[in-house]
Copies of this chain bind each other. A is one copy, B any other.
């Protein structure tokens, strides 16, 4: 029987420790194709490159392991992998491990999760992994068994049409995580601040975005609660944005 075919991407770029660890985990499960951004593409969300041409580089090209980089966004990488580079559809797409949380509303800004969502839009089950640790020396040791279990679960059972999983790991505290929690996305908001500085060339102001993440609820059913309590959070996600409970109410507006 042929081994599962696994496509990997991320948004921190192909050299990030998170993707190197994920590649290592996936090699124990199947044949691996990596198509990752050349450079860090954090906070690129579901952006695609339409004004500039895309170029790719081949780093490795063997039977069981192929690695390419692309000068584009995470979503570009998935599109290019699925529609140009790969001759056979992957059995699963995994993205990450992102350095930094993609829990709660962070998902909307995340290139890592956009790569996973793009795959799910194409009918391929996918998982995005993130860890709440920006350090390039983040310790992924305790994440390994969860990653392998989840990927094997998805390969065996599937996920159903157009579903992706958003999996976040707490920053490790020198001991095993407490377990896996299937959650919903917590309600939260980035309260933004802009750090103003003066340009030495012309004395004009420029700004750096500098937000504070604020969680609006502390409910045991949310991903933020799970992470706060040292659980691995898993949120199944979909990409129909329709607010179904508003449709009937707004139907009245059709008349005026």
Query: Chain A interface (Cβ within 8 Å of chain B)?
Result: 40, 42-51, 53-56, 75-76, 79-80, 82-84, 105, 107-109, 114, 117, 121-122, 149-150, 153, 159-160, 163, 166, 179-185, 187, 189-194, 197, 204-209, 211, 234-244, 246-247, 250-251, 253-254, 256
- Decide: A121 near B109, CB < 8 A? Known: A182-B254, A208-B54, A253-B234: no
With known contacts A239-B241, A242-B237, A253–B53 Cβ distance under 8 A: no
Q: Say which residue of B51, B54, B83 sits within 8 Å of A206 (CB atoms).
A: B54
Complex-state Cα separation, A54 to B82, whole angstroms? 35
4 extra A-B contacts, CB within 8 A, seeds A236-B242, A236-B250: A46-B108, A50-B209, A80-B194, A181-B254
Which secondary structure dominates where chain A touches chain B?
mixed
Closest to A189 in B: B121
Do A241 and B234 touch (CB < 8 A)? no
* Complex Cα gap A205–B56 (Å): 8
A256 to chain B, nearest CB (A): 6
Residues in B with CB closer than 8 Å to A204 are 55
CB neighbours (8 Å) of A117 from chain B are 108
Most B-side CB within 10 Å, residue of A107, A182, A242: A242
Tell me whether A194 and B54 are in contact (CB under 8 A): yes
User: Please, which residue of chain B has its CB at the minimum distance from the CB of A83?
Assistant: B192
User: A191-B83, A236-B243, A242-B235 are known contacts. Are A209 and B105 too (CB-CB below 8 A)?
Assistant: no
Let me know if A241 and B243 touch, CB within 8 A. no
Number of this chain's copies in the complex: 2
The 10 sampled A-B contact pairs (Cβ below 8 Å) are A44-B45, A45-B48, A84-B192, A153-B253, A159-B246, A180-B253, A180-B254, A187-B240, A234-B250, A235-B241
Is the CB–CB distance between B209 and A246 below 8 Å?
A: no
A150 contact set on B, CB distance < 8 A: 253
* Shortest distance from the beta carbon of A86 to any chain B beta carbon, whole Å: 12
* Chain B residues closer than 8 Å to A239, beta-carbon distance: 105, 108, 241
* CB neighbours of A209 from chain B (8 A): 48-50, 54, 76, 79
A46 contacts B45, CB within 8 Å? yes
**Contact between chains at B242 and A109 (CB < 8 Å):** no
